[in-house]
Amino acid sequence: MEPTKGQWYQRRIAELEAQVRQRDQRIAALECQNARLAAQVARLTEQVAKLSKNSSNSSKPPSSDIVKPPKSTSCREGNSRKRKRKIGGQPGHPKHEREPFSSDDLDDVREYELNCCPDCGGSLSSRPRETRVVPQVELAERPVEILEHRAEGCWCRRCKKVVYAPLPATVQKGGLLGPELTALVGYLKGVGHASFSTIRKFFRDVLKIPISRGQLAKVIRKVSAALEPADEELRASLPSEPRLNVDETGHKNNGKTHWTWCFRAELYTLFKIDPWRSSGVLIDALGEEFNGVLGCDYFSAYRKYMREFSVEVQFCLAHLIREVKYLIGLPHERTRVYGERLLEALRKLFGIIHRRDTMTSRGFQRALERARTDVINAATWAPRRSPAKNLAKRFHLHGDAYFRFITTPGVEPTNNLAEQAIRFVVIDRRITQGTRSERGQRWCERIWTAIATCAQQERSVFEYLREAVNAHFHGQPIPSLLPAGP
């Protein structure tokens, strides 16, 4: 029996409703999948931005990366194509030559004479016209001097024991190695990042002296003791510095994380290893009455020290630039717009700093004040979304601490000085794998301080180690790492 017209319509409507339900279910599934994919894209975009946050693909500071344009290397004016520089010395650069040896430096002079022309065999005039001088430095067959010190021993009838003739102070304190070789071991260990095994091989193969790693460890302890008074002198002078740049980096001590703190003053650099990365380290090093300006990043320990003891701080603008670049890489559009606006204001600020030599003192100051206002205006308004909102809150609380360099002469807008000083410590830590004991920590602190300070003052590290070890062996005052007054 065929369905009636009404039944056919009902069946058709049911089929269409089933199709609509299937379509709705498919749409809901696609919408759910689209939401998951959108969330995944946003998460991956944020991870990419986080991985590229520190602008570590260039050795230049971020402040100059966003301001200074690349230098043109075109050979003709108006030529837009750039050419790579050739390897080696560049045209127009001054020639650098080694200073000739003085007569006092020479151990021997060897002269070579001509009887006839080496080219044609012809006769020569008896009067030489000029002399060709070729200096040459060579290792001696035995590059070290080995001395045996013999102290006569006699029986004392009163003391009832054998007494010996006194030995020189350098022999008593130095033992197997004299002050020169003791300083060399310290130099190889500190400046050369050499292990005890490497130094032992150097003594065996080059100096022809067998020595054990245990003996070398004792030598390092002597160098560390020689550096202790100079290190203590710098620690005592640290709280009175008018300007300090501070940074910290982690390292391992017997598998546990410790922190190497770097305090860079105008004339010296001091290192301190501590198990804590807190404001307590700053209190121990600088005290509660520090009256200078502290250059640092926005880490919480510096903010707590600033808040509790009313310390003036210059927060690093280079670190701020990195954080702003991070915001630009985030998926949220309004956050990116906020970051781009703030980055442009910072670009103009650093552009003024780089043009300082072309401006009058008054014009430079007024330009800085205008740029400061623009940066604060760009930073204090942010969309209601973290982390842009957190950055705006930071400027509401500590905005003035980013511009201390405008009103305080000698203060740098970035913390690059401390970061540069701590760079070789990171290299040394990666090679030596950290420290194992408190004694090792003290050695690292003292040798790093000596190396960085000597480099800062353009002094020879080895010469300073020689002077310090000699003074220590003779019981004399250790030479200071502070430069002598005028």
| Tens digit of each residue's pLDDT (9 = 90 or more) over 423-433 | 888 888 878 77
Render 172-240 in DSSP notation, one character per residue: HHHTTS-HHHHHHHHHHHHTS---HHHHHHHHHHTS-----HHHHHHHHHHHHHHHHHHHHHHHHHGGG
Residue 253 lies in a domain: yes
C-alpha pair distances (Å), 302 with each of 243, 247, 264, 391, 484: 15, 10, 15, 17, 32
- Tell me: pLDDT of 332 over 50: yes
Total domains present in the chain: 1
Beta-carbon contacts of residue 227 (< 8 Å; ≥ 6 apart): 446, 447, 449, 450, 468, 478
Q: Is 258 among the domain residues? A: yes
Give the residue among 59, 437, 50 at the shortest CA–CA distance from 254. Answer: 437
**Is position 387 within any domain?**
yes
Residue 74 reports pLDDT greater than 90: no
Of 258 and 77, the structure prediction assigns the larger pLDDT to: 258
The reply to whether 346 falls in a domain is yes
Q: Which residues contact 441 (CB under 8 A, 6 or more apart)?
A: 253, 258, 273, 435
Q: Is residue 323 part of a domain?
A: yes
Residue 411: give the domain boundaries. 241-418
Q: Calculate the average pLDDT of the chain.
A: 87
Label residue 39 by pLDDT band (50, 70, 90): confident
Residue 183 falls inside a structural domain: no
pLDDT tens-place string over residues 104-149: 889 889 888 888 888 888 888 877 678 888 888 888 888 888 888 8
What is the predicted pLDDT for the residue at 455?
94
Percent of the chain exceeding pLDDT 70 equals: 91
Q: Is residue 166 part of a domain?
A: no
Could you tell me if residue 364 is inside a domain?
yes
pLDDT band at 63 (very low <50, low <70, confident <90, very high): very low
57 CA to centre of own chain: 16
Contacts of 130 (CB under 8 A, 6+ apart): none
